[in-house]
A = this chain, B = another copy of it.
Amino acid sequence: MAEGTYPKTAANTVNRYKHQATYDVETIHSIVNSTAVLHVSFVPDPSDPTPIILPMIGQMGAYPGDEASGDSTWKCYLHGYVSSRIMNLTRSNEQGIPLCVAATKVDGFVLTLSPNSHNYNYRSAILQGHGTIVEDVDEKLWAMKLITNSVVPDRYDNTRVPPDNAEMQSTNILKMCISSASGKVREGCPEDERKDMKREDVLDSVWTGVIPVYEKLADPIEGPYNRIKNVPDHVGKWVKEENERRETYTREAAKKPAPLKRPKASS
């Protein structure tokens, strides 16, 4: 478990809805690590400031080998094909390449009296840093297991492992050292401006509330060559428990007091 806060700098300081901003390391890591697809941005050609975004699978973690040598900061590990553009570009730059990673979870649609006060309940995290290719075989295997288990816990040890030479060659792991990070969390019921709260005609005609939203895992469907009769616990039981956790979070977030009306958290 990582603790503390990321430093506030010009690059990451949130200016809009500051009360929803967070620099808490644990909160930011948990948003990244519970997001099924990370959006990764980089600039393919430094002479042209047009970025590209790739959807990638990744996880934050602290590699025990780094910790043993005194570096306990968490890195973001991203999984990709060996000859993808982002891997080729990273490989050709000894210093690595500047990256931005975004993770966003939509937790609810907040429906208010006016269109302008409409909002989402959400959790988002933005990381900036430098990515390099993981060359160390132990670290690479550790990251592959970390990333596979982020999709379904314990999945790695329930598959045909370890990866063979061809598989190790065809996959690259990008390791991103974080230079700057911030998060933003909105939870709570609708909140309207005073001018609309005074309008009886508006209050009498517009439904206000929250539609909670969560990424639901439907019942697992076996594939054509599956021979295992019962869905194993690491899949079936996990799907049930995970849906309960997700629905509970999103429904409770919808019922909390609105952000601006909440007593300030002491920090």
Using a CB–CB cutoff of 8 Å, the interface residues on chain A facing chain B are: 11, 15-16, 36-37, 39, 41-43, 46, 48-55, 57, 81, 83-85, 98, 100-102, 104, 106, 109, 111-116, 118, 120, 122, 124, 126, 128, 144-145, 148, 151-152, 155-156, 158-161, 163, 167, 170-171, 189-190, 192, 196-197, 199, 202-228, 231-232, 235, 239, 247, 250-251, 254-255
Known A16-B83, A216-B247; further 12 A-B contacts with Cβ < 8 A = A36-B120, A41-B51, A41-B52, A49-B98, A51-B98, A51-B100, A55-B102, A106-B215, A109-B217, A114-B161, A213-B217, A218-B250
Given contacts A196-B160, A221-B251, A235-B207, contact A100 B53 (CB under 8 A): yes
Q: Report A153 CB to chain B, min CB distance, Å.
A: 12
A106 cross-chain contacts in B, Cβ below 8 A: 36-37, 215
Given contacts A106-B37, A251-B221, contact A214 B215 (CB under 8 A): yes
User: In the complex the two chains form, what is the Cα distance from A209 to B159 in whole Å?
Assistant: 12
User: Contacting A206 at CB < 8 Å: which of B81, B115, B158, B189?
Assistant: B158
Q: How many copies does the complex hold?
A: 2
Given contacts A207-B231, A211-B239, contact A224 B189 (CB under 8 A): yes
User: In the complex the two chains form, what is the Cα distance from A41 to B117 in whole Å?
Assistant: 25
Q: Report A249 CB to chain B, min CB distance, Å.
A: 11
Q: Report A170 CB to chain B, min CB distance, Å.
A: 7
User: In the complex the two chains form, what is the Cα distance from A81 to B49 in whole Å?
Assistant: 23
User: In the complex the two chains form, what is the Cα distance from A163 to B213 in whole Å?
Assistant: 27
Given contacts A52-B100, A222-B208, contact A144 B163 (CB under 8 A): no
